[in-house]
Amino acid sequence: MSEYVLALDQGTTSSRAILFNREGDIRQITAREFTQIYPQPGRVEHNPYELFDTQAWVMAECLRQAGVGAGEVAALGITNQRETTVVWDRATGAPVHNAIVWQDRRTAGFCDELKARGLDGVFRDKTGLVLDAYFSGTKVRWILDNVPGARARAQEGGLAFGTVDSWLVWNLTKGAAHVTDESNASRTLLFDIRAGAWDEELLDILGVPASMLPRVARSSEVVGEAHPEFLGRPLPIAGMAGDQQAATFGNACLRAGMAKNTYGTGCFMLLNTGDNARRSGNNLLTTTAWSLSGGRSYALEGSVFMAGAVVQWLRDGLGILREAREVEELALSVPDNGGVVLVPAFAGLGAPHWDQYARGAMVGLTRGATKAHVARAALESIALQTLDIMECMEKDAGVTLHALRVDGGASRNNLLMQLQADVLGAPVERPRVTETTALGAAFLAGLAVGFWSDLEELESLWRLDRRFEPAMSRAGRDALVGEWRRAVERAKGWARE
């Protein structure tokens, strides 16, 4: 009998494989970083071959390190950086261009053109998204318009488009399956989230041939088999979901009104709205959460572009940290931010501002400011961006959030989690397993093959590690939030000026 499910977590900076047992506990984690490519300011790319090669390597290495044979694995689940775009040749499997990463801003001007044509409402109504360079559709168009011969080849039916999940499955199945799931499709600007189908009008506006598109599957469904050359035997690929939807599923936010926040490269807060695709009046996104055999669930989402990436910048850009984990100790060495406020709009501002031209700003500096104050301001910026989203989410959904479940690497930072509870004025709940993105992919795959029986069993596997209660005074909170909002206004529109 199979005792494990293997989750492949293809993120923005690393490929990881995590082996989970029947209790939802981690048996083994294996990770490998890959190259970040910055061809010019505002552009971010990945080598598609490197994405797959690192993912295939960690998949096999994870089982080897655990001493587990492929025969003990019931299924593979895949979760991925969502909007990152790959276009490849169907005949050769060769990418026609580097993957264009979700952080990339090269299509911001084209998004402005679409808005000027009055098309924002069309996209909002059908996709639940705003017109922003963040999403996949305009990236596909850029590749077709800028790679010599690409558009002609696509119109002949010779090119395939996919987000990273599709690219992984294509390669794992040796080209036998070109498929995505509804959660990933809902991030492309090409998919009608209520109809659950690719939309001809949107394809026409963006100039993307329908022949390029993958089949859209449920998030929990056997979509193909990984070729035996990878692990020695074929394994069913049975779960697929974009990273933030997978994290919501893995954090057992399975009922309407439950919310989670993931602290990764970016920061992503999702509120489960059940079968109601609730339109936001506050610049949040409406997105497909997942689709199961019993139906489709939706969520409201707020996206922060820079969360853990802020700490990486302290380490790599400013050189004030040797390792990212040092940020907590450094920030704790001072009682407060000393008046320093950091707005990490390095790639613009996401929800609820959606300012493609905002840029990072640090204000309130005096001669007394130190690297410790900057470190504390960096952590506060993550918590404060989350507050901005939560307030909009509560207005849209007409609910008051009673607790926020958290996950992702930075959720292990106790100071950040306490700051988050303080600025939200609500408890923050961290689970024992914070790798909920991978766990969600495992849950979806396990459900499809009967490894786990139903949603109630999955809910029973969620276990609390620590609950952070608000401790900051109301006056202190109000002062911190007020300074933050003044600083955000100063960061907006900077690049255009």
DSSP state, 294?
T
How many C-beta neighbours within 10 Å does residue 278 have? 18
- Annotated binding residue at 297? no
Q: Looking at 143-258, which runs of residues are DSSP E strands?
A: 159-163, 179-181, 191-192, 197-198, 215-217, 220-226, 235-242
- Annotated binding residue at 4? no
The rounded distance, in Å, linking the Cα atoms of 185 and 190 is 8
- Annotated binding residue at 13? yes
Name the token pair of 259.
């919310």
- Annotated binding residue at 244? yes
- Annotated binding residue at 243? yes
- Annotated binding residue at 16? yes
8 within 8 A of 441, measured Cβ to Cβ: yes
| Rounded-to-10 torsion of CA 353, 355, 358, 360 | 50
The rounded distance, in Å, linking the Cα atoms of 240 and 456 is 20
The rounded distance, in Å, linking the Cα atoms of 160 and 220 is 23
H or E element that contains 439: helix 436-449
- Annotated binding residue at 409? yes
- Annotated binding residue at 339? no
- Annotated binding residue at 65? no
- Annotated binding residue at 413? yes
* Distance (Å) of CA 291 to CA 49, 257, 371: 29, 18, 46
Residue found under tokens 């008046």 = 339
DSSP readout, 476-489? HHHHHHHHHHHHHH
The rounded distance, in Å, linking the Cα atoms of 126 and 101 is 23
- Annotated binding residue at 127? no
- Annotated binding residue at 398? no
Binding residues for glycerol are 82-83, 134, 243-244
Binding residues for ADP are 12, 16, 265, 308, 409, 413
Binding residues are 12-14, 16, 82-83, 134, 243-244, 265, 308, 312, 409, 413
Binding residues for ATP are 12-14, 265, 308, 312, 409
Binding residues for sn-glycerol 3-phosphate are 12, 82-83, 134, 243
